[in-house]
Amino acid sequence: MSDILKIRPSKATKEAFMETYGGIYEHSAWIAEAAWQVKNGDNLDVADALHDAMRNAVEAADEPAKLRLICAHPDLAGKAAVRGELTDESKSEQKGAGLDTCSPEEFAEFQTLNKAYKKKFGFPFIIAVKGHDRHSILAAFRARLNHDRALEFETALTEIHKIASFRLADLCS
């Protein structure tokens, strides 16, 4: 992902930067804000560099901030999708994985798994859906319910970083 970003941070105002990159991490503009703070010339004009700055902001955050980041993500094939309340990025990502074409049985299983996962871990199941279909997502969902909270917390953050990487790649020329 070493591509040059279409809207280069070195050429953008803070307002334009936040408008473009503030949603890379779901409903967590504070991460883009932190990346803006380390902007120095053209050091963030390459997607990998901006992703690293954003990842560093997450890693430097305390556990409550990380938990808020995880909880900012919607359930997969969840109520927000049904109500049309997903961000454009999440809607596109879920559609790309075929979550908009679940059978009634698959949809019911997603609802059951979402509820069980949140009850066990206290946050939503996160997976970077690009490259997955609903069958592989359901399989991962079932398997990860057997993990402990610490592992799932770290896995959720890893998946969130993957999602951010895919979103930044989409913004490259």
Catalytic residues: 73
Rounded CA gap, 55 and 115, in Å?
28
- Helix-then-strand count for the chain, H and E: 9, 0
Concatenate the DSSP letters of all residues of 91-155 into one string. HHHHHHTTGGG--HHHHHHHHHHHHHHHHHHSS------TT--HHHHHHHHHHHTTS-HHHHHHH
